[in-house]
Structure 1
Amino acid sequence: MAQVVFTEDPRARESAYTLGRIHSIETMGTVDGPGIRFVVFTQGCPMRCAYCHNPDTWDVRAGAQVSVEHLIDLYESNRAFYKTGGITVSGGEPLLQPAFLADLFRAMHARPRGRVHTCLDSCGYAFDPAHPERFDAVLAETDLVLLDIKHSNPEGHRKLTGQSNERILAFGAHLAARGIKTVIRHVVVPGITDSVEECEALGRLIGPWLNVVGLEMLPYHTMGIPKYKQMGLEYPLAGVPPMDKERMPELRQAVLRGMKESRSKAGSHHPKSH
């Protein structure tokens, strides 16, 4: 189902919870976590990924202020469809609004008609490793994280997104330390992240995270180009073709190989039991 862009929530001023700045929702999402899901897209993102297909979510001042109560009402109106799914908050970058996320997920877990599965779809860059306690409340209410890792190499990551990958890797390590189930997502772009070496390096990075329960290799597509034209923006990857999907199994195996290698090395450093 198509996204529904928000207008101002008339109940926002009377909300008992922290308000969220929202871009849109998708009521029947099928690619943002298990089952059919109610997907909330937050407004604002600190990264500028070259292949971003939602540049209209970048500006943190745009979007509409929406109450937790309003989102609950929308979810409950379609609850029958979400029996094997739940709610996912994506973006933009949701971790720019940790208090809102914590309130929303806490309320979803406490629903009288039954606990709702919560999923956070994040690039991880908004995480502050110097103050991880700022994210304790939301992570305590998060059942699953979809963590996007754009590039394994620090310089390659900066060229691709405009930012370092240090905070993202710190967030991944923090999720691992907390034991929060995490699915790693990696967009494969021709000529940028489609080499076996890059994918093996990614595997070595995420291998130590024993909380990783899934790996999604996402082939780059060009469906975002019309939106750039509509917004009068130059598309950063003009001329780059869509990723050849036939190569995806090979590259997925490369990531898994890197994960196995890193775990094997880690195991070899442990003292043998007698």
Structure 2
Amino acid sequence: MSKASDDLVDVSKYDSPQALEKGESPDALKQALKKMGLKFGGTPAQRAERLFKAHKKSANGTNGIGGVGLRRETELLEAQVKYMTEDILADLLQSTRMNVEKKLALSYEELEQERYAEENPVNPDDDEDGSDSGEEKTIHNPKDVPLGWDGKPIPYWLYKLHGLNHEFRCEVCGDVTYRGPRNFERHFTEARHTHNLKMLGVQYSRYYYMVTQIDDVLKLADKSRNLSASQLNRTADDEEFEDAEGNVFNRKTYEDLRRQGLL
């Protein structure tokens, strides 16, 4: 028995998925599954089995295709999830979001230091070694490596990995010393360096990358200005023109030939 695609399918009059498949058209099964919010793809046999199981689960308190009960269960679950996320777990979700945003802003070195601090937590009992509690414990740091977020020296392998044993001095920044090539290279685009360049009358560009001496910056700025002026003077002569036969001339030659009527 077939029905129009928009009619409801009365699953209750069938005792098996096979009977449902024979009694209803494939399109009717598809529309019934679609109205219930279920997947409606697959073969007619798969649709019939899916619809029959859904009706069997929601048979209590429902009629027809059993979609009303299923929708009620879905709406109840949605309300519960909304309540959990917007009320009970709101603070947790907010703190998680802030933690993720904070990690995105950290450099690789900072992430490694944070990971090391998490893997090596400070144990308050370690400080109770019989000494006076008011006396500060001296940090053993013979290799003078930077301290991590936990106040302890970072691992020496991490120190060597990022080249933090190499120091780079920048006169433009006021003789500030940067540890590691990455920190040194990154500082050229940071506020301190670009601000000091502006104080010297220079706008930062890629030409000043890796230039740390004030005299070198000023010499490069003068050279850049002179080069720009000479390029402007050569622009007219370097401009190329083409005649009707495809011959290419610079501007001066082209104008001379045109005035002589040779073009």
* TM range, smaller chain: under 0.3
Query: Per residue, is there more strand in 1 or in 2?
Result: 1
Query: Per residue, is there more helix in 1 or in 2?
Result: 2
Computing the radius of gyration from Cα coordinates, the structure with the larger value is 2
TM-score by length of 2: 0.21
